[in-house]
Amino acid sequence: MDFDHSPVMLEEVIDRLDIKPQGVYLDGTLGGAGHSLEIYRRLNKDGILIGLDQDIFALETSTKRLKDANGQAKTILVNTNFKNIKEVCEKNNIEGLDGILLDLGVSSHQLDQAERGFSYQKDAQLDMRMDRREELTAQIIVNEYSMEEIKNIIQSFGEERWASRIAEFIVDRRKEKKIETTSQLVDIIKAAIPSGARRDGPHPAKRTFQALRIAVNNELGILEKVIKDGITLLKPGGRFCVISFHSLEDRIVKNVFNNSVNPCTCPPEFPVCICGKKPEVVLIGRKPVTASNDELERNPRSRSAKLRVAEKMIIQS
Ligand SMILES: C[S@@+](CC[C@H](N)C(=O)[O-])C[C@H]1O[C@@H](n2cnc3c(N)ncnc32)[C@H](O)[C@@H]1O
């Protein structure tokens, strides 16, 4: 199966990364290399592109695409979680980055591959692991976690108002039969949400599937750390671009960037700062960038996307 994924806000990202031909750029979410190919094409023989993806299939696809592009820059492509960004840089003697991109979440390709178990529209084993070396699957969560834990996951990561009922129905049904497939789970969710509440809006399983995917891949748990680590790795003037796809992710990105703009912890009534914490970044644009009307028409995935950008401060001596 081809790796089909249209990069979201491609022009906006490339523009804001402000690529220097001899620079060092890290894409923590290579996917099908949609963004990375454009970065790579702008680098010369002294430039370096570092690409990470925890999904081996995505890494293999993008490795081939980048090779076929015949660029001049060096590439370092690693099958790892972006939470390991510091270790990857250390191991490869990278002392600073001119730009970092995180395009969060799953790729359209992962959703299209039925056997990965991400999609409520395709029947498959309930899996949802982006990295198949990890042990935790969606099947383990729905069959082994307590009702309270399942409810909390669906409520906090899916913002689903029927989380309690869905968790109750899951625990009830699993007593009769193990929940193994995506369609079994979809049927349970449909039974739990009253038909009146299912009539409008998105697919009734959308929020629960999103919540399980976030929990399986610990997507929110690692976000704060990777942004903080990324900021320390940026060279002065280096840019950090993050595209998020739901409000929980965007809130974390916004808060970590804002705390790095203004890290001072002194009480507001203090006339001067005594904590000594200095701003590390400035924001490029106060509001997040969203997709153009043209892209919204072409690429439905861009609908919920928000791009936030920060630049590492150039510290005056
Ligand atoms: C939205 S897609 C990126 C698409 C890419 N920008 C493109 O245009 O082709 C997200 C990719 O990041 C990967 N990914 C998500 N979270 C990750 C993490 N914590 N570490 C490494 N890769 C991750 C997924 O496996 C997926 O391939």
Calculate how far, in angstroms, residue 145's C-alpha sits from the geometric centre of ligand 1.
27
Regarding the beta carbon of 52 and ligand 1, being less than 6 Å apart is answered: yes
Q: Choose the residue to mutate in 9, 30, 131, 307 for probing ligand 1, maximizing ligand atoms within 8 Å of C-beta.
A: 30
Q: Are 241 and 101 in contact (CB under 8 A)?
A: yes
The two counts, helices (H) then strands (E), for the chain are 14, 7
Q: Are 266 and 275 in contact (CB under 8 A)?
A: yes
Q: Kindly report, residue by residue over 248-302, the tens digit of the pLDDT.
A: 999 999 999 999 999 999 998 999 999 999 999 999 998 999 999 999 999 988 9
Query: What is the pTM for the complete model shown?
Result: 0.94
Regarding the beta carbon of 214 and ligand 1, being less than 6 Å apart is answered: no
DSSP code string of 65-115: HHHHTT-SSEEEEE-S-GGGHHHHHHHTT---EEEEEEE-S--HHHHH-GG
Calculate how far, in angstroms, residue 130's C-alpha sits from the geometric centre of ligand 1.
9
Regarding the beta carbon of 53 and ligand 1, being less than 6 Å apart is answered: yes
What confidence tier does 114 reach under pLDDT thresholds 50, 70, 90?
Answer: confident
**Distance from CA of residue 44 to its chain's centroid?**
28
Calculate how far, in angstroms, residue 81's C-alpha sits from the geometric centre of ligand 1.
9
Interstrand relation of 306-312 and 281-283 (parallel, antiparallel or unpaired)? antiparallel
Q: Kindly report, residue by residue over 185-213, the tens digit of the pLDDT.
A: 999 999 999 888 887 778 999 999 999 99
* Domains of the chain in sequence order: 10-109+219-312 (3.40.50.150), 116-217 (1.10.150.170)
User: Which helix or strand (DSSP H or E) is residue 275 part of?
Assistant: none
